[in-house]
Amino acid sequence: MGFLDILQSIIGPAIFFSAPLILTAIGGVFSERSGVVNIGLEGLMVMGAFVGIVFNLTFIGTFGSWTPWISIFVAMIISAIFAIIHAIASVTFRADQVVSGVAINFLALGLGLFLTKQWYGKGQTDMVDRPFYTTDVPFLSDIPVIGELFFSGMYLTSYLAIAVAILGWYVLYKTPFGLRLRSVGEHPMAADTNGINVTKMRYIAVMISGAMAGLGGSVFALTIALNFSHSTIVGQGFMSLAAVIFGKWHPLGAMGAALFFGFAQSLSIISSGVPLLQDVPQVFLLIAPYVLTILALAGVIGRAEAPKAIGTPYIKGSR
Amino acid sequence: MFSNRLVNILIPIVSVFLGLLVGAFIMLGFGYNPLLGYLSLWNGAFGDSYFFGETLRQVTPYILSGLAVAFAFRTGLFNIGVEGQVIVGWLASVWVGLAIDAPMIIHLPLAVLAAALAGAAWGFLPGLLKAKLGVHEVIVTIMMNYIALYTSNALVRNVISDGKDRTERVPETASLTSEWLASLTQYSRLHFGLLIALFAAAVMWFLLNKTARGYELRAVGFNQDASRYAGMNVGRNIILSMVISGAFAGLAGAMEGIGTFGYQSVKGGFTNIGFDGIAVALLGGNAAIGVVLAAFLFGTLKIGALNMPTGAGVPTELVDIVIAMIIFFVASSYMIRWFLLKIKKEGK
């Protein structure tokens, strides 16, 4: 097995596994940057996966080959609406944001499985007939080496994820909206004094995180899982949360972290074909992303600095 | 009309009521009879002695995982890693049960102790990182959950068994099962662990409320700066709190490992005992007696739910929605408090 073959067999799956994590992590960055902890990313992904699969199964006859794209769009919208619950609890009712996030996780899974039993009469949905397929990007895949590595046999959703990450960076760092959003997470009172509506910004940020996690969950469901059950989303949301922190609350950092986690995951799957990794017990590759995150947090790989006002509800007039 | 103390007791009761109400509306919305639904839940939990035995069996680990979350909460820490600590405790109890050959009087306490120690060790690291480096315990404990899950699976498959998906059953000498309790409840899986759980609740109450160490732990939970100023070692108290919390969680694992199941298996996902413990602790107001009562409620809901499909055609997952809503309402207690105060003002 040549070096290029190995590289090709790693890069493809790495990006493929990363895409849902990147999308969800970008959502997480927005929410946390506005000062709202979002442990509920997991539940929002569950919601996205559920809506994506159900919409795909229901409307395959209406939309034909466009079904997966419309499915992820609808999943994005519904998850954004679902995330409002987290915003109401943690922004308006000043609930403990972590607890409210935990409740989102319980609720999404309970609701998803309840409706699945209700509509399909069993614990999981049918398999979708029209998921996303891999494609070769026209022209670009003809470039020698690079085309082979990055543009052939890929899912278009992977490019979507990378585009969203770059867009997220642009919005957060290059627009007035992004500046306001970040200021609300750093010093809400100062932001409020400058006429920024803290509550509104936080609602928007939490809804963006819902939308992105919904997108991530549905992309996962329509590229990897292909149906919905209790075991469709198991920990991808938490992993995305880890990517947010590992990436130091920066969109591109989060993308890098998510790519790394995807890489680690793909290693544990394709390791049997790679000479160096064959002898490494799989468990080490499975726990690698988590161990590395802890190490990163402990400052071994550079200190991660959280937004200042994270986790604290803003109460007008209090110091 | 409403004293602060009364409001604190009212909030969980109102939350449970509202949660059940949401569940009733959902049942109504999907064309089920909510009364029949809740009646079959009641029968599923208390219908006969077998069901009651199963309910108490479910309550046992819930008490301990609830205590684990609550204990850390009291020191101002959110131990979301109870799940992982349950898994390592489960594994440790089964491992000691299988690896050692000893009479029951030594073997059983050893297996229980191993579970507590394993859980404590799993709680120690996040505590240490929090105390020494200020790393947020939520993220570290989430990561530790996955490490526990995958490590346990690998150990079960490769070390404790020969490539199998579950270990052997632990021998009688290391088992909490009780012929007497089982026969009392038409051979449910009720075991002696319930006594351990209740004892642990008493220990937590005593430790937090009657000892100087407990006073320090609570003080750190209230205000770290003030505690430091008063000469307390905040870091040591944080580590201690996580270690004790982890020990409770490890015991919860032992309840399943050498009580209910008698073996450890390769798990596809989490047990949810730890995550449900968060709900138990919140509803119980992070106090020992509250946790016992809340664990009883959630155990009832979970076991009763199993009867809902046959009794009323309602999917069991309805109860998960109800539990999620209860957590929401408890978490948003600001809303309930505000509402109660409003009633109070208008009452005047």
Task: Write out residues 230-259 of A within 8 Å (CB-CB) of B.
Answer: 230-231, 234-235, 238, 241-242, 245
Q: Where are the domains of chain B?
A: 61-294
Mean pLDDT of chain B: 90
Residues 6+ apart with CB under 8 A from B162: none
The HSE-up count of residue B154 (CA atoms within 13 Å, CB side) is: 14
Q: Is A276 exposed, middle or buried (0-12, 13-18, 19+ CB in 10 A)?
A: exposed
pLDDT reading at B199 higher than 90:
yes
Nearest CA-CA distance, residue A202 and chain B, Å: 17
Is B332 within 8 Å of A100 when comparing Cβ atoms?
yes
- pLDDT tens per residue across span A53-71: 999 999 988 888 889 999 9
Taken as a whole, chain A contains a residue count of 319
Q: Report in angstroms the alpha-carbon separations of B294 from A66, B271, B298.
A: 48, 19, 6
Range of the domain at A22: 3-297
The whole-angstrom separation of Cα A77 and Cα A66 is 17
- pLDDT tens per residue across span A98-134: 888 989 999 999 999 999 999 998 888 988 888 888 7
CB A165 within 8 A of CB A24: no
The whole-angstrom separation of Cα B205 and Cα B215 is 11
The whole-angstrom separation of Cα B50 and Cα B296 is 16
pLDDT reading at A273 higher than 70:
no
Render B37-88 in DSSP notation, one character per residue.
HHHHHHHHHHSSHHHHHHHHHHHHHHHHHHHHHHHHHHTT---TTHHHHHHH
Look up residue B188 and give its two tokens.
């449910």
Which residues on chain A are in Cβ contact (under 8 Å) with B282?
Answer: 99
Chain A residue with the nearest C-alpha to that of B337: A93
- What sign results for the dihedral spanned by CA atoms B13, B17, B23, B26? negative
Task: Write out residues 89-108 of A within 8 Å (CB-CB) of B.
Answer: 89, 93-96, 98-100, 102-107
- pLDDT tens per residue across span A278-307: 677 778 878 887 887 788 778 765 555 678
A46 touches chain B (CB under 8 A): no
CB B297 within 8 A of CB B19: no
Across A140-149, A204-213, B126-135, B278-287, which has the greatest mean pLDDT? Answer: A204-213
CATH number of the domain that A43 lies in? 1.10.3470
The whole-angstrom separation of Cα A74 and Cα B316 is 27
Look up residue A191 and give its two tokens.
């932001």
Identify the bridge partners of residue B265 per DSSP, sorted by sequence position: B166
Number of domains in chain A: 1
Which residues on chain B are in Cβ contact (under 8 Å) with A287?
Answer: 146-147, 150-151
Give me the interface pTM, i.e. the ipTM: 0.84
The HSE-up count of residue A196 (CA atoms within 13 Å, CB side) is: 25
Q: Report in angstroms the alpha-carbon separations of A77 from A58, A245, A312, B331.
A: 17, 25, 27, 26
- pLDDT tens per residue across span B215-237: 999 998 888 889 999 888 999 99
A310 within some domain: no
A109 within some domain: yes
CB B144 within 8 A of CB B226: no
